[in-house]
Amino acid sequence: MKKPRSYERYEKKSDRFRGSKAPKNPISVGEEYIVTIEETSKSGTGVAKIRGFVVLVNNSNPGERVKVRIKQVSRNHAVADVFSS
């Protein structure tokens, strides 16, 4: 059986690489927010930000204040639908 390396003896496996460097997503699927659409993306969807996290909002125009429900979350953005204006 192989001996553990010196740096592995007193560390947990999860601490070895200090975990993920990226911050956790501030939002999750199913949550509802009231946002203001800041601009339009190249694909035509509205762009809003929640605590600095980019949210792409379908069926919206810049300047609108809408209530959205998050339907998909990825590492760097989320996708939401308008369910009330």
Mean per-residue pLDDT for 46-64? 94
Specify the DSSP class assigned to residue 15: G
Q: Which residue has the higher pLDDT, 66 or 11?
A: 66
Strands 53-58, 77-84: pairing kind:
parallel
pLDDT for 75: 86
Tens of pLDDT, residues 7-51: 555 555 555 555 555 557 789 999 999 999 999 999 999 999 999
Strands 53-58, 39-40: pairing kind:
unpaired
What domains can you pick out in the chain, each with its CATH number?
A: 28-84 (2.40.50.140)
Q: Which amino acid is it at 32?
A: E
Number of Cα atoms under 13 Å in the Cβ half of residue 63: 0
The residue written with tokens 């929640």 in the block is 50
Q: How many CB atoms lie within 10 A of CB 27?
A: 15
Mean per-residue pLDDT for 47-63? 94
pLDDT for 23: 57
What pTM value is reported for the model? 0.70
